[in-house]
Structure 1
Amino acid sequence: MEVVRRYEGNPILTPEQVPYDCTAVYNPAAVKFDGRYILLFRVQRKDARSVLALAESEDGIRFTPREGFAMVPSQEEPFRTYEEYGIEDPRITRIDDTYFITYAAYSRFGCLVGIAKTQDFERFERVCLASEPDNRNAVLFPKRFGGLYARLDRPSYPGKPPSIWISFSPDLVHWGGSRCLLMPEEYRWDSFKVGPSVPPIETPEGWLCIYHGVFMTMNGAVYRQGVFMLDLEDPCKVLGRYEGWIMAPKEPYEFIGYVPNVVFCCGAVEEEDGTLKLYYGAADQCICLATARLEELVSLCISGGS
């Protein structure tokens, strides 16, 4: 059964459609704000450094890019040092009336988790650099647990497969209580590494988490999307993990691009009817849209089968 359905007009945003020079637009965070859909996406410039840009839509399908960039590497320390090679792969989480952006800060020292915030998508303020290298793919939970913020991320350690961890913080700056939640499984589609895709989605059954898994082939990496479920009250507890993938490269725009064989989701918008709009980067080249029923993804986590 196909639970994720691609929009037949994909891709919805390409490098040719934005008002600035670049080689790729991809990996968009997504949110509904003030009645409009907002994408905050990665733009790879011709010097190979990445910045973040915005696009808006009334229907979640046809997007108009804004002029200029929303966020560029900072010129203020300590961010300047650790963002010198670019800022990448944003995610957006609303907590109270503030929208927090987690992103990858890339430099000669490796990749760190950066956190920024906005209330209007006009002005963006950096909060902190929130990890040691090498760490990326951080997503914040939209609720606190015992007064603590929580996040999922993907730290990397020599000799260990990149896995999904959870951490907690009283202030978004100081993090601890870290635990490993999900590791790559041998001889599976996600056997090389796993990482969070979109911020956790609250459901009556638990926190639905969409993640990416990587399988290495003789022709390079293949990026797919999967799902797992965490307990509502204790997000350190994994309730279920679907053994199969929910999405894998199969269209020409997912096979051919800057990095072939990639579907990489960074944004999801839940509609009132239970539909999820999933926004993803295809082949590190363009931005695409797919939809899924929330209850179907939850059911996969509970059943666990492939």
Structure 2
Amino acid sequence: MVENTSKKNIKSGYVIPHYLYKDKQVKYYGDFGIKIDFSGDEKKWGNHEEVVLEPRKNFFDSNPLTIMGAVLTTGGIMVFYDSSEYKKGSVVLQVGMALFDSENPKILKERKEAPIYKYDLKTKEKVTPLTAVQDGDELVLTWKIGSSKKGEGRIPHPYLYLKNQNKRRIFAGIKKIFDINRHKNNPIIKPKVENNWESKATFNPAALNTGDKIHLIYRAIGQNDMSVLGYASSEDGFNFNERLDTPIYTNGKLNKKTLTNLKVSPISYISGGGGEGGCEDPRLTLIEDTVYLTYTAFDGWGSLRMALSSISLKDFLNKEWNWKKPINISKYGEINKNWVLFPEKIDGKFAIIHSVNPEISIEYLDDLEFKGDKKYIDSPFSTEKNKERWDSWVRGAGPPPIKTDKGWLLIYHAMDFYNDPNRYKMGAMLLDLKDPRKIIARSKEPILEPDEHYENNGWKAGVSYCCGAVEKDGQLLIYYGGADTVSCVAETNLNEFVNKLIETENPKIKVYTKYKKEL
């Protein structure tokens, strides 16, 4: 729970209400760095000069820090501060957040790497930070602009709570912007010990909605540690009562090569679940009357390439698995994963997203034959990281984009490389319908993190890896692998999700022309 927001005091400080440390009240104050002070009666302060928070070089808050507010939560004392940046003709308003230990308010527990609020205010006037106060479920941020105006920005209040004591990051518990609900019966697909080919893992499912059914093609690993693809279907998208006992897709040519036949050195790659290669991490795309399958083809030793196959929709629905011979569409000797095909042509061409870092890279093709001069897609490789974001390391696209009236919705995989490494989380982007290289909006926080037991107990802890998503009756159904072992589903209202994505990407500030002196 969150107590009432702190009271402003002398020295631009904030007294924490309903809180005492060693029988004294606590105040955070300062306009360059944040300091702490103590008082026995709130009238006489000890002029304590200890700095508890300073500007950080090479971060958004490298500018002077000015206290705006503080609040007591069950996880500690949250402090909000301004670190705005002055530019020619504008002021970039930036608000940071830090968490101090409630048992010792001088101890910093954690500090947000990125601003919780950022807005480029076009003005040449002086801007002075004022307050950060709670209004219902929102945090209201105010600044004085010049001598007669006030600016006000609002964001969802970052309530803090600890779900359990084993959280890797305190901030993993902030109130979520996106309302994503895991299904109560997760995991929806588990390994079957009686089937040798899927006895160890059944995860990372691709999804396809054909109207009357949701079809999943999932990656399966059995006793030989080879990855093959299995099939399951459901009428409601949650209960997958139909499941085949034999794999529906394998790549028989993926065998270990001898040293003399290898043209590249062994790649440094550990495949989730099993290490003997096969068909990994499928995606399904329906275009007209053809179902396209993209997947990672791994030979278990020296080659990891993107592959493409297809099947007629009629054969797919009849479960006659007459797959077209697969084509390797990425360059030999390179590591490529997470390529997705748009579900419709763009300007008359097939479109494949083959990279999302540091920008959206799309290959436009007249056909998907990869003959003649076009033998493969040359995809740039980047490990570029942005430490100011939760998704400092964007790993790749998740499912094929879903078309909405406001843009292409793309779910992606990412890690917080600097603060929470080795945990696969999901983010979301909204891409322009006509030119999907343009990002309209991008999630300010993960839409789903690997917090549940089935996302941590398995071949690889801390993994929520999405390869499938569909729209059904206005709901967005997200299918993902948990801990590289099982298949899961989560849902949210699609329109509300997209609207929230846009709202949080484009924060607004209200400017009042009459400034009240008491503020």
1:117-128 aligned at under 5 Å gives the runs 117-119=310-312, 120-121=315-316, 122-123=320-321, 124-128=323-327
Q: How far apart, in 1, do the equivalents of 2:479 and 2:432 lie?
A: 25
Counterpart contact for 1:90–1:266, Cα < 8 Å: yes
Change (3 A) 1:19 1:150: same
| Contact 1:164–1:182 (Cα < 8 Å) also in 2 | no
Q: How does 1:190-201 map to 2 (within 5 A)?
A: 190-201=391-402
Q: Is the 8 A contact 1:162 1:195 kept in 2?
A: no
2-structure distance, mates of 1:153, 1:184: 18
- Please tell me whether the aligned partners of residues 329 and 377 of structure 2 are also in contact (alpha carbons under 8 angstroms): no
Aligned-residue sequence identity (percent) comes to: 34
Letter in 1 for 2:306: V
Q: Is 1:70 aligned to residue 248 of structure 2?
A: yes
C-alpha offsets along residues 51-91 of structure 1, whole Å, 9 cap, x if unaligned?
A: 111112222222132021111123399xxx99x82110000
Matches within 5 A, 1:32-51: 32-33=209-210, 35-51=212-228
Match of 2:201 among 5, 14, 24: 24
Q: Whole-Å Cα distance in 1 between the matches of residues 383 and 492 of structure 2?
A: 23
Larger gyration radius, structure 1 or structure 2: 2
Would the aligned equivalents of 2:254 and 2:278 in 1 still touch at CA under 8 Å?
A: no
1:276 counterpart letter in structure 2: L
Query: What root-mean-square deviation, in Å, do the aligned CA atoms of Structure 1 and Structure 2 show?
Result: 2.9
What are the ranges of 5 or more consecutive residues in structure 1 without an aligned counterpart? 156-160
Aligned CA distance change for structure 1 residues 34 and 303 (closer, same or farther; 3 Å): closer
**Of 147, 171, 184, which residue of structure 2 is paired with 1:8?**
184
* Counterpart-to-counterpart distance in 1, 2:381 and 2:351: 13
Q: Does residue 348 of structure 2 align to residue 147 of structure 1?
A: yes
Matched, 1:252 2:252: no
Are the aligned partners of 1:262 and 1:284 in contact in 2 as well (CA < 8 Å)? yes
CA distance in 2, matches of 1:70, 1:148: 29
For structure 2, the residue ranges without an aligned partner over 5 or more in a row are: 1-176, 256-260, 263-275, 508-519
The corresponding residue for 2:329 is 130
Q: Distance in 2 between matches of 1:139 and 1:18?
A: 33
Q: Which has the higher contact order (CA 8 A, sep 6+)?
A: 1
Q: How does 1:47-66 map to 2 (within 5 A)?
A: 47-63=224-240, 64-66=242-244
CA contact (8 A) 1:13 1:287 kept: yes
Which structure: greater strand fraction?
Answer: 1
In the superposition, relative to structure 1, how do residues 163 and 48 fare at CA in structure 2: closer, same or farther (>3 Å)? Answer: farther
- Tell which deviates more after alignment, 11-20 or 42-51: 11-20
* Distance in 1, Cα, partners of 2:382 & 2:438: 8
Are 1:163 and 1:180, in contact at CA under 8 Å, matched by a contact in 2? Answer: no
TM-fit CA distance, 1:186? 1.9
CA separation of 1:199 and 1:46: change in aligned 2, threshold 3 A: same
The aligned residue for residue 113 of structure 1 is: 306
Task: Please say if residues 360 and 437 of structure 2, whose CA atoms lie closer than 8 Å, have aligned partners that are also in contact.
Answer: no
Residues 183, 196 of structure 1: CA spacing in aligned structure 2 closer, same or farther, 3 A cutoff? farther
8 Å Cα contact 2:354-2:379 kept in structure 1: no
Structure 1 residues 300 and 268, CA gap change in structure 2 (3 angstroms): same
CA contact (8 A) 1:189 1:215 kept: yes
Secondary structure of the 1:16 match is coil
In the alignment, is the contact (CA less than 8 A) between 1:189 and 1:245 conserved in 2? yes
Amino acid aligned to 2:468:
G
Using the TM superposition, give the Cα deviation of residue 163 of structure 1 relative to its aligned residue in structure 2, in angstroms. Answer: 6.8
Q: In structure 2, what is the Cα distance between the partners aligned to 1:109 and 1:177?
A: 19
Q: TM-score, normalized by length of structure 2?
A: 0.53
CA distance in 2, matches of 1:203, 1:181: 29
Aligned counterpart, 2:363: 167
Structure 2 counterpart of 1:303, from 490, 503, 513: 503
The residue identity in structure 2 corresponding to 1:290 is A
Contact 1:227 1:242 in 2 (8 A): yes
TM-superposed CA distance for 1:238, in Å, is: 1.5
How many angstroms does 1:13 deviate by? 0.9
Residue equivalent to 1:224: 425
- Asked whether the equivalents of residues 340 and 352 of structure 2 are also in contact (C-alpha less than 8 Å), the reply is yes
How far apart are the structure 2 equivalents of 1:219 and 1:243? 16
Alignment partners' CA distance in 2, 1:18 and 1:266:
26
Task: Tell me if structure 1 keeps the 8 A contact 2:330–2:377.
Answer: no
TM superposition shift of 1:130: 0.8
1:32 is displaced (CA, Å) by: 2.1
User: In the alignment, is residue 189 of structure 1 matched against residue 390 of structure 2?
Assistant: yes
- The answer to whether the 8 Å contact 2:178/2:497 transfers is no
What residue number does 1:158 align with?
none
With over 3 angstroms needed to count, the CA separation of the structure-2 counterparts of 1:226 and 1:57, relative to structure 1, is same
Write out per-residue CA displacement over residues 120-154 of structure 1, whole angstroms, 9 at most, x where no aligned residue: 22222234111112111111001112221111124
Q: Matches of 1:8 and 1:162 in 2, distance apart?
A: 36
| In 1: Cα distance, 2:451 partner to 2:180 partner | 12
Partner of 2:481: 281
